[in-house]
């Protein structure tokens, strides 16, 4: 008999992508086959995000659409942060959903899916502070870089944020377990790892801090690139920055969420740093890691944000010179402290919209000027995937996280190249391949290998 099939759709952050990989791994071990399309799948899972209302509305719409792809005996499960936040309400809202499972409940997934296929409905939203899914074998979507969760939950309490409610308290995996997983992904052919946590640099397994972790992961033979997301400015100790500078594999890019450039707004957000504190953190990182690029997250329209406070955000963006920024309009989340701020502090939608637009323009202008200045320079890139648009183009990334499109085919996935930047849209680049940077398997002079390398020169 054919194996039952599972389709999964993932929303939200990389942590959710990583969780989907864990869920697919668990279901694969239980005999399920992963399919890329929902049509007729025996099990449809929607792994959800609750960070902004818009994210949730999209999922609600999608649950309705996916219903049309269900067979009479298909089952649908909602997992992730929205499942955790809404629990039983989801079962009431969507009658075709039979499973609601929060981020700490995936161990029970195969059993719950079996139950659902026998007609049961279930909710699993209990937090488990020991849970790291150590014995799971994730089924990874990406063949070039590996998402490796090192910490779950969050102990900060930023006043706008739902994550502490949906993912519970912070806990770190044991360093040995992270190193073991790193070895496994290298053995599978991957050379880039991305360490994941909500405040990843506050990692502490009781014995080791994030500096130890960076050194240990960077030491695993075969690891050529180490990235991490997202760090919190307050957890960049000198030890952590020292390790970033020392470990050759740690890439010259830090995604450092700023949220606002106004100390007053930061205080209302309970970010626990001021504008000056953030700038000081930027300086320490820049002093230790020459050429490091910085990207960030920013929220506009937080309750009470005045025109002057928003201007401070624009000036902070200019002062730091971010390579890129993810920008959001504040979205009130039920139960978060920000919803208890005085109603008259609410920033009208139209004002927030205008602020977002001027912020996006500012960010783009800065990136464009800096990117134009990079034309003609050479960089090491890793081929991550085939570019979506256009055939025979590859999406590659520099160590400092710039996207470079280069000509090439699928056989080049996972390879390192040296490229020269030949054009820019302002945000991404096109490049030409100068040469390939594989470890050279040459003993003395090898004409065939040299010819192969020469054939990659496209200029």
Alpha helices in 258-306 (DSSP H): 263-268, 275-288
* Closest approach of ligand SAH to the CB of residue 429, in Å: 26
Q: Which of 6, 8, 15, 113 binds ligand F3S (CB under 6 A)?
A: 15
12 binds, among ligand SF4, ligand SAH, ligand F3S, none (CB under 5 to 8 A by kind): ligand F3S
Cα separation, 437 vs 160, in Å, equals 45
Looking at 98-209, list the stretches that DSSP marks H as alpha helix, in order from N- to C-terminal side.
Answer: 109-117, 163-167, 175-187
> What count of other Cβ atoms lies within 10 Å of the Cβ of residue 307?
9
Q: Which one of ligand F3S, ligand SAH, ligand SF4, none is in contact with 265 (Cβ closer than 5 to 8 A by kind)?
A: none
- The C-alpha atoms of residue 346 and residue 135 are separated, in whole angstroms, by 46
Residue span binding ligand F3S (CB under 6 A) among the ranges 13-21, 211-219, 295-303, 450-458: 13-21
> Contact, 353 vs 430, CB < 8 A?
no
The single residue among 331, 362, 396, 398 that binds ligand SAH, judged by CB under 6 A, is 331
Which one of residues 87, 110, 115, 164 is an interface residue with ligand SF4 (CB under 6 A)? 164
* Residue choice 154, 256, 387, 419 for contact with ligand SF4 (CB under 6 A): 154
Which of 125, 139, 104, 120 shows the shortest CA–CA distance to 32?
Answer: 139
- Residue 331, φ and ψ in degrees, nearest 5: -125, 115
How many residues are listed for the chain in this entry?
Answer: 459
Under the binding rule (CB under 6 A), the answer on residue 230 touching ligand F3S is no
Tokens encoding 293: 């690029």
Is 153 a residue that touches ligand F3S (CB under 6 A)?
no
The footprint of ligand SF4 on residues 233-292 (CB under 6 A) is none
**331 interface partner picked from ligand SF4, ligand F3S, ligand SAH, none, CB below 5 to 8 A per type:** ligand SAH
Angle separating helix axes 275-288 and 238-246, nearest 10 degrees: 30
What is the C-alpha to C-alpha distance for residues 114 and 314, in angstroms, rounded to an integer? 52
Binding mask 21-50 for ligand F3S (x = CB under 6 A): ----------------------------xx
Interacting span for ligand SAH (CB under 6 A) from 20-28, 126-134, 323-331, 450-458: 323-331
| Binding residue (CB under 6 A) for ligand F3S from 6, 97, 163, 186 | 163
Which of 4, 12, 77, 231: binder of ligand F3S (CB under 6 A)? 12
> Within a 10 A sphere around the Cβ of 445, how many other Cβ atoms?
7
Could you tell which of ligand SF4, ligand F3S, ligand SAH, none binds residue 333, using a CB distance below 5 to 8 A set by kind? Answer: ligand SAH
H/E element holding 379? strand 378-386
330 binds, among ligand SF4, ligand SAH, ligand F3S, none (CB under 5 to 8 A by kind): ligand SAH
Rounded (10°) CA dihedral 300, 302, 306, 311: -30
Q: What is the DSSP letter of 403?
A: E
Token pair belonging to 278: 């953030």
Radius of gyration of the chain (CA): 23
Binding residues vs ligand SAH (CB under 6 A): 51-52, 160-161, 163, 198-199, 230, 232, 257, 259, 297, 299, 328, 330-331, 333
Binding residues vs ligand SF4 (CB under 6 A): 154, 156-158, 161, 163-164, 198-199, 232
Binding residues vs ligand F3S (CB under 6 A): 12-13, 15-16, 49-51, 80-81, 162-163, 166-167
């Amino acid at each position: 008999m054919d194996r039952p099939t599972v389709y999964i759709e993932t929303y939200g952050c990389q942590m959710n992508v990583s969780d989907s990989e864990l869920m697919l791994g668990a279901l694969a071990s239980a005999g399920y086959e992963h399919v890329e399309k929902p049509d007729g799948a025996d099990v449809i899972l929607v792994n959800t995000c609750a960070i902004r209302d818009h994210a949730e509305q999209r999922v609600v719409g999608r649950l309705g659409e996916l219903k049309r792809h269900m067979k009479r005996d298909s089952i649908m499960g909602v997992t992730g942060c929205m499942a955790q936040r809404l629990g039983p309400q989801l079962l009431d809202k969507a009658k075709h959903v039979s499973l609601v499972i929060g981020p700490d409940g995936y161990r029970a997934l195969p059993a719950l899916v079996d139950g659902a296929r026998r007609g049961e409905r279930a909710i699993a939203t209990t937090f488990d502070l020991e849970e790291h899914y150590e014995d799971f074998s994730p089924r990874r979507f990406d063949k070039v870089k590996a998402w490796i969760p090192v910490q779950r939950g969050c102990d900060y309490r930023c006043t706008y944020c739902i994550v502490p409610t949906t993912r519970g308290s912070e806990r770190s995996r044991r360093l040995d377990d992270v190193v073991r997983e790193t070895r496994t992904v290298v053995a599978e052919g991957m050379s880039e790892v991305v360490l994941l946590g909500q405040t990843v640099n506050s990692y502490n397994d009781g014995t080791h801090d994030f500096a130890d972790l960076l050194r240990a992961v960077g030491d695993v033979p075969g690891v050529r690139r180490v990235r991490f997301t997202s760090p919190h400015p307050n957890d960049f100790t000198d030890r952590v920055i020292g390790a970033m500078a020392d470990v050759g594999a740690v890439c010259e890019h830090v995604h450092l969420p700023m949220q606002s450039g106004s100390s007053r707004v930061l205080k209302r957000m309970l970010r626990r740093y001021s504008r000056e504190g953030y700038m000081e953190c930027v300086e320490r990182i820049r002093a230790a890691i020459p050429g490091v690029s910085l990207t960030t997250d920013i929220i506009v329209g937080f309750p009470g944000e005045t025109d002057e406070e928003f201007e401070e955000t624009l000036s902070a963006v200019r002062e730091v010179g971010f390579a890129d920024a993810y920008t959001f309009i504040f979205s009130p989340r039920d139960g978060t402290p920000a919803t208890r701020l005085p109603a008259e502090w609410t920033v009208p939608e139209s004002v927030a919209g205008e602020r977002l637009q001027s912020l996006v323009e500012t960010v783009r202008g800065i990136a464009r000027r800096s990117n134009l200045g990079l034309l003609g320079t050479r960089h090491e890139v890793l081929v991550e995937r085939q570019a979506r648009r256009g055939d025979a183009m590859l999406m590659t990334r520099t160590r400092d996280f710039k996207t470079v499109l280069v000509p090439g085919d699928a056989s080049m996935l996972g390879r390192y190249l040296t490229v020269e930047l030949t054009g820019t849209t302002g945000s991404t680049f096109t490049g030409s391949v100068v040469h390939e940077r594989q470890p050279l398997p040459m003993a003395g002079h090898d004409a065939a290998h040299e010819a192969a390398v020469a054939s990659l020169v496209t200029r």
